[in-house]
Amino acid sequence: MKKFTLAAAAAATMIASSAFALSSADAYFDETDNVVLGSEITLETVMAPADGVISIYDYSGNEQGALLGTDLIDGGLTSNVVVDIDDYATTDQILVTLTVDGEVVASKTMYTTDM
């Protein structure tokens, strides 16, 4: 009985891990590579495997810079996600990340244009 219980627990753990790994592969942002830089940034489409956090960083010089803004997001497909930007000094690029359970499951760099 003890062997069966241990085997069942191991199988359940593997299935749960695989399910999360598969769902993480389904995380993405919209296809656009350009966003308007202002006091907020709107992402047309975000797909999240579970509830998470969208973070936007300065990406000057091809390096992650200062955190510009964050927003909570529900799992699933969400349209028109608006992230308030605290300090948006001019930057040519931003890095957008989606974090679920403390793990970055999607990231994308985007070019910015003025309002």
Q: How many domains does the chain have?
A: 1
Looking up tokens 């070019």 gives: 111
Domain containing 98 equals 27-114
pLDDT of the residue at 38:
79
**Cβ(87)–Cβ(65) under 8 Å?**
no
Report if residue 19 sits inside a domain: no
Q: Is residue 16 part of a domain?
A: no
CATH number, position 110: 2.60.40.10
Contact criterion met (CB below 8 Å) for 71 and 82 = yes
* CA 82 – CA 40 distance, rounded (Å): 6
Q: How would you classify the pairing of strands 76-84 and 67-73?
A: unpaired
Question: 20-46: per-residue pLDDT in tens?
Answer: 443 456 888 776 667 777 788 888 899
Q: What's the CA gap between 93 and 15, in Å, rounded?
A: 39
107 part of a folded domain: yes
- 8 is a domain residue: no
- Structural domain includes residue 90: yes
Within a domain: 10 = no
Note whether residue 12 is domain-resident.
Answer: no
pLDDT digits (tens, 9 = 90+) for 61-112: 888 999 999 999 999 999 999 999 877 666 788 899 999 999 999 998 888 8
Considering the domain boundaries, does residue 59 fall inside one?
A: yes
